[in-house]
């Protein structure tokens, strides 16, 4: 028998896969109590807003939705107003952290200089995260910036031990620049 039909406590899936399971009759969301949309801002940036709305339509009104995101987009504010009663915003950055977001298109060879200028001008006393498209780019940028900033790369090829050391170093100490990618 299909485990989903027997009942499960947690279902994790992309919006498209969840909709597919619902339409095939393999998944019912009527008893869902909690929905977690991880990286909701990124999901909506790539066009999953309609799919999330479709999935919400298959649920009873008695559930809580938690969205985890790095940026509060206008589209997400509209979604919360449409689907949520009394939404609560938990800002983990708080008033102590100022976040600036820059998107600049450039050739790879130009990036270290551009990033250096941005950091010098905008992150004078803080820490920064630079996102790249690939693991190779993350390694190259972290290495190129080592002369001027204490930087480390973070991606799927980094061991668990090294990842913990890097994150601890960014949070508590010596590293002020993290070059990361979600590229597995």
Residue 123 sits in a domain whose CATH number is 3.40.50.300
Distance CA 149, CA 129 (A): 12
Separation between Cα atoms, residue 132 and residue 141, nearest integer Å: 9
pLDDT in tens, 132-149: 888 888 888 888 766 677
- Over residues 15-42, the pLDDT tens digits come to 889 999 999 888 888 888 888 888 777 7
Residue whose token pair is 């590293």 = 175
Those residues with Cβ within 8 angstroms of residue 9's Cβ, 6 or more apart along the chain or in another chain: none
Contact 177, 128 (CB under 8 A): yes
- For residue 94, being part of any structural domain is answered with no
Q: Is residue 90 part of a domain?
A: no
Question: Whole-prediction pTM value?
Answer: 0.51
Range of the domain at 73: 3-83
CA gap 159, 138 in Å, rounded: 15
CA distances from 83 to 11, 12, 66, 75, 79 (A): 21, 21, 12, 12, 6
Residue 93 has pLDDT above 60, yes or no: no
Residues 73 and 111 reside in one and the same domain: no
For residues 105 and 100, which has the higher predicted lDDT (pLDDT)?
Answer: 105
């Amino acid at each position: 028998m299909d485990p989903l039909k027997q009942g499960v406590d947690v279902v994790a899936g992309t919006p498209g896969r969840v909709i597919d399971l619902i339409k095939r009759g393999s998944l019912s969301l009527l008893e869902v109590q909690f929905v977690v949309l991880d990286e909701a801002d990124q999901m909506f940036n790539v066009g999953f807003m309609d799919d999330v709305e479709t999935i919400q339509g298959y649920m009873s009104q008695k559930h809580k939705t938690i969205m985890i995101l790095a940026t509060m987009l206008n589209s997400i504010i509209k979604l919360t107003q449409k689907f949520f009663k009394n939404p609560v915003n938990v800002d983990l950055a708080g008033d102590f952290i100022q976040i600036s977001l820059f998107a600049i298109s450039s050739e790879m060879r130009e990036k270290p200089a551009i990033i250096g200028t941005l950091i010098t001008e905008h992150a004078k006393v803080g820490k920064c995260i630079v996102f790249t498209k690939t693991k190779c780019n993350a390694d190259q940028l972290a290495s190129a910036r080592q002369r001027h900033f204490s930087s480390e790369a973070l991606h799927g090829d980094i061991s668990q031990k090294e990842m913990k050391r890097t994150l601890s170093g960014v949070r508590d100490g010596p590293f002020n620049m993290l070059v990361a990618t979600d590229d597995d």
